[in-house]
Amino acid sequence: MTARLLNIQQGSNFRELGGYRTQDGHQVKYHKILRSGNLANLSDADLDYLTNYGVIKSIDFRSPQEVKDAPDRLTTKISYHFDPVFRIDETESTRDQDSFYKKLSQTPGIGHRQMLSAYHNLITDTHPQKAYHQFFELLLTNTQDNQAVLFHCTAGKDRTGIGAYLFLRALGVDQQTAEQDYLLTNTVIKDEVAQMIADLPSDNPNLVDSVFSFQSVKMDYLAQAQSEIRELAGDIDHYLETVLDLSTNDLADLKKIYLQA
């Protein structure tokens, strides 16, 4: 896992997607594509690190309000691309805490159900579909060697997690490996989630359960997305082609840019 984690001090869930193997024996290039949580609190040292790493683009999946509340902190060497997956944050990465916690305390299982609904929407709603199409369009412009794209949301786990899953599958990485990358978030942010649970205003079991559901990734969530992909298109390849509108040439070019022998 440590080979995937970037040495970012004032950010969360910064990970390298290089090194994964495809089913036909190729490997995702290092220093080409990164995933992360929000970039609002990056230190000068963090920015130097990302610049030296080769990052030239930041693709921001967050909603307009999230961006307004916590804009990316970038250098002039990194271009910013606003690509909101949701018009509002359906994953509850941001919210009014007091009223939100009260609602969670009173309603068993609401966190899990809401996350399943969000993952349904990530795949089936036209707005996320257009956003992920634009994501791939931006990835296809990253043609220079030793230059990297970073994509992120607020926590770097749901909107970003699905983006990474779609990207890896588009390259020909097998489903199990793409699932493992998705689930790696839980290991990376384990201490953050534990602290968040410890800081809750009460130990109400409904509250604890739902906050954990919102702040973690679960195979149930990804399975919901996978089910919607099968329902809409039959399989991941047809979803990429018919729903996300990626041509055969797009997918071939993506592999040329991001894979090596």
Indicate the number of domains in the chain: 1
Q: Which helix (H) or strand (E) holds 195?
A: helix 190-198
Three-state DSSP class for residue 248: helix
Q: Would you state the pLDDT for residue 89?
A: 67
| 199 belongs to a structural domain | yes
Task: Examine residue 5 and state whether it is found in any structural domain, yes or no.
Answer: no
Please state whether beta strands 33-36 and 79-82 pair in parallel, antiparallel, or not at all (unpaired).
unpaired
Q: Which two tokens stand for residue 179?
A: 């699932």
Residue 4 lies in a domain: no
CATH code (residue 168):
3.90.190.10
Tell me whether residue 10 is in a domain: no
Q: What is the pLDDT of residues 58-77, one digit of tens each?
A: 999 999 999 999 999 999 99
- Confidence at residue 98, expressed as pLDDT on a 0 to 100 scale: 81
Q: How many CB atoms are located within 10 Å of the residue 123 CB?
A: 23
Tokens of 157: 């786990």
Report, as ranges of residue numbers, the positions in the chain whose pLDDT lies below 50. Answer: none
pLDDT at residue 242, rounded to an integer: 98
| Domain coverage including residue 58 | 15-260
Whole-structure pTM value: 0.95
Does residue 182 fall inside a structural domain?
Answer: yes
Half-sphere exposure of 248 (CA within 13 A, CB side): 0
Residue 131 belongs to some domain of the structure: yes
Q: Indicate whether 75 belongs to any domain.
A: yes
Dist. CA 13–CA 158, nearest whole Å: 12
